[in-house]
Structure 1
Amino acid sequence: MKNERGRPRSFDIDVALNNVLQVFWKHGFQNTSMNDLVEATGLKKSSLYAAFGDKSSLYLKTLECYLVLLEKNHAQILISEQDGRCAVEAFLRSLAEMLTSPHLPGGCFIVNGTADLGGSRMTEGVEVALRSALKGSELLLKERLLRAQLDKQLPSNINPKELAELFFTLIAGLAMQAKGGASREKLDLVIGHAMRAWPE
């Protein structure tokens, strides 16, 4: 007996996932309902569940998409730029461009999501994934600063982990400023002042 093929989807799954990402990016996990996602995608709840699973599964998929976006458009700058100071500054300025883009919801998907941590409607899976994403971003900076130190671009008495924490705190602050409507020019000004603190 031949197996019947599943009914083909009548929608573009990548477009639907991007629409879901925009909603979560803007409102976070707790403040987004399935009805919001239905409205954003134009799909029925049954179609969303069939394609992606429940709300938590949807959020995790969009977080994964966002991390791919960060890797492709921003993290590569840290890797490709040979000078440590230039790498960090270029990375920060590329983030500032994204954080303030008029074509995006504003701020950082991950930083925006941290407002939900510990919330009553937060699921364990989403919370673990968000915390992991935060640690991953900080680790990325730490590894680049370690490389800079090995290349004699950072003094040996500087603790790369502590400096990474400083820059990560700066990124979180920039994201919050952008979410509140701060301009690209304002963020660039802050970054310029922050880079003057680079240890010589």
Structure 2
Amino acid sequence: DDEVKSAMKRWPQVAAVFGWLRLDARAQWHLIQRDAPGFDPALHELGEPITSPPIIDFIGRNYESDPEGRWFWQNGPQRVYVDLDTAPLILRVLESTKDSSKRRLVTHTGYLINEIEDPCVDQLGRVFLRCELGPAMIHDLDLAQLNIEIATGDSPMPWLWMWETETHGQQRFPLRIVKDASSHYGFVSRPR
């Protein structure tokens, strides 16, 4: 946002904050009010859901990563680093607007995804991938819309994801199993 860029120029030395904002596995932002009276990390560490559409939209427009793989919201001149429950981006599977037999992926921040790289499955059955905007996880409620088959032959990858889009047509992605998506894709789940 232009207002954010202007604030960054006016106040370039504002300290970053850590542990105040969390993104859960279902793309819900949570505010952790560490300065609230009676704050107890054991009771309040998950935070309160942010439900205001203008605030959610503002966070999404100003959400990015630094070179160390830490994701943050640029809130005016201040960086608010985000605790990630699963991945920096949560993807929804939506029907194509032109052909109902095809699908598209859209980030929780509202951006259409065109490039899929290195898709994987973790030990909990969650599907991760790298896209042009960064590491992402497909929303668990949308997994049933994926066409995943058991790989045949001598493939070291146990599954095959068949994906058809308007942009790329039919694609086939072998799915490897990963133990930890954050280390595999190089993002920091709990920046401090």
Q: Which has the larger radius of gyration?
A: 1
Highest relative contact order (Cα 8 Å, sep 6+), 1 or 2? Answer: 1
More strand by share: 2
Question: Could you tell me the TM-score, scaled by structure 2's length?
Answer: 0.28
Question: Could you tell me the TM-score, scaled by structure 1's length?
Answer: 0.27
More helix by share: 1
